[in-house]
Amino acid sequence: VRVGVIYLVSGVGGSVMSSLFIRDNISVGASGALFGLLGAMLSELFTNWTIYTNKAAALVTLLFVIAVNLAIGILPHVDNFAHIGGFLTGFLLGFVLLMRPHYGWAQRYVLPSSVKDVGRKFLAYQWALLAVASVLVVVG
């Protein structure tokens, strides 16, 4: 359900950005929504960074896919504003909707008594990004 919400809202975000910057043409397509999914994948990678075993490969692969798709956007009749709007919307929504607990985090009450400090799941910058993303998604 969360991915579907990201897809739909990113499509709307891409359409809004496209209509703000390209006033005399109409563009139709799902590429803004697909870029929103790429943006959500990137924010999910940042948010859940500690879960990934091969962090560099995941980041390089995702950035390569994003760069290639943006490069395709320089072809005629391709609306890169919709791509960028969808990407930014999905990136922000990913911080809000794709925060997931690490394995065993929800059951911290069953830890042995010898464990004194579990530590925080999310760092301060992750909470700050969540707050900024939430405000930007609501304000628009």
pLDDT in tens, 4-43: 999 999 999 999 899 888 888 877 888 899 999 999 999 9
Distance of alpha carbon 64 from alpha carbon 67, whole angstroms:
5
Strands (DSSP E) along the chain, which ranges?
none
**Residue 48 pLDDT class (50, 70, 90 cuts):** confident
31 catalytic, yes or no? yes
Number of neighbouring beta carbons within 10 Å of residue 78 = 14
The token pair at 88 is: 């930014």
Distance of alpha carbon 79 from alpha carbon 14, whole angstroms:
9
83 catalytic, yes or no? yes
CB-count burial class (<10 Å; 0-12, 13-18, 19+) for 96: buried
Among 77, 83, 102, 114, the one annotated catalytic: 83
- Tens of pLDDT, residue by residue over 85-117, are 999 999 999 988 887 665 555 555 555 666 665
Among 10, 15, 18, 31, the one annotated catalytic: 31
